[in-house]
Amino acid sequence: MAGSLLASPGEAVDEAQRAPAFRPYSGPMKTILLIALLALSGLAIVSALALSGTLMEPLPWGVLAALLASASAFALMLDQVKLRVRSLFKVG
């Protein structure tokens, strides 16, 4: 199971990048959405455990919010870099 979760997102992303147009109901897009939902549920579980203090000192709300905000900002900046690199090398 873990191997399929590690392999599937990469294959789905590769297939989605090769697609000539956005197809929201295609097989790869469904896989990407499923993996995203699994990642978000994992993030919610880990956040709840950190806030409740399970197996560690409780994490303050402000620290958790700052971590989530910085991770989101990094992801958005990385996406912008990806778009510029793709246009520079005329990929896609």
Separation between Cα atoms, residue 78 and residue 62, nearest integer Å: 24
The residues, ordered by sequence, that sit 6+ positions from 91 with a Cβ below 8 Å of its Cβ are 85
> Taken in order 15, 19, 22, 27, is the CA torsion positive or negative?
negative
What is the model's pLDDT at position 71? Answer: 85
Given a cut of 60, whether residue 13 has pLDDT beyond it is no
Higher pLDDT, 24 or 71: 71
Q: How far is CA 17 from the centre of its chain?
A: 16
Q: Which tens digits make up the pLDDT trace of 17-69?
A: 555 555 556 667 778 778 888 888 888 888 899 899 988 899 899 998 898 88
